[in-house]
Chain A
Amino acid sequence: DIQMTQSPSTLSASVGDRVTITCRASQTVSPWLAWYQQKPGKAPKLLIYKASSLESGVPSRFSGSGSGTEFTLTISSLEPDDFATYYCQQYNSYWTFGQGTKVEVK
């Protein structure tokens, strides 16, 4: 099974900050890597697919990069609505999610 590891687990930031979250896979999954945003009590929402493709309707301040086993999600300028938990997910072989990164108010 492919394992996904995110870092950090928690990230404290302020509105306007540039935020970067890292995701590592236990084996290559490239380019089948997605990022989701989840708010409390809600289902995850797809942000990025195929490592760097922006889902329709998602603001352009979100971007994804990486290949092989290492990937990043970047929020260029944090907005109040962006405080949430973010998950990476590989869909190269079945589906595996990371443990999540909570972006909280500093």
Chain B
Amino acid sequence: QVQLVESGGGLVKPGGSLRLSCAASGFTFSDYYMIWIRQAPGKGPEWVSYISDSGKTTFYADSVKGRFTISRDNAANSLYLQMNSLRVEDTAVYYCAREGGTLLPLDFWGQGTLVTVSS
């Protein structure tokens, strides 16, 4: 069955960096576009970054542009999010999710990893 497992979250000071990972299994990872979504405490989800199946195309929300970098390793069935210059407002649970296909929404999500930015 499809599984997405995030790791790498933790407590970091403002201005610091973290690298999140998402290990995928149960499907052909290289066939799917992937996305990072975050959810601050008590808030709705917010998309953060998106990467095409080949990794050649990426998009970023304005709130993270220039600070976060999405990447993938299809040979390792893994998705990554490098987060630099972290701010207090980046505190959230970060989920990786699979885009179900052309003109389909996010059909599978990981369990999430908590990122806390605090001094």
Contacts and interface: CB of A to CB of B under 8 A. Distances in A.
Contacts of A55: 107
Categorize the interface residue count of chain B: 20 to 34
- Range for the number of chain A residues in contact with chain B: 20 to 34
A46 B47 contact: no
A97 B45 contact: yes
Contacts of A98: 44
Interface in B96-118: 97, 100, 103-107, 109-112
A98 B39 CA distance: 12
Main secondary structure on chain A at its contact with chain B? loop
B106 A97 contact: no
Interface string A71-104: 0000000000000000101010011111110000
A87 B50 CA distance: 20
Contacts of B24: none
A89 B50 CA distance: 16
B27 interface: no
B73 interface: no
B44 A46 contact: no
A20 B105 CA distance: 22
Contact of B111 (A42, A89, A91): A42
B52 to A, nearest CB: 14
The 10 closest A-B pairs by CB, nearest first: A43-B109, A34-B105, A95-B47, A97-B44, A97-B45, A99-B44, A91-B105, A49-B105, A100-B44, A46-B107
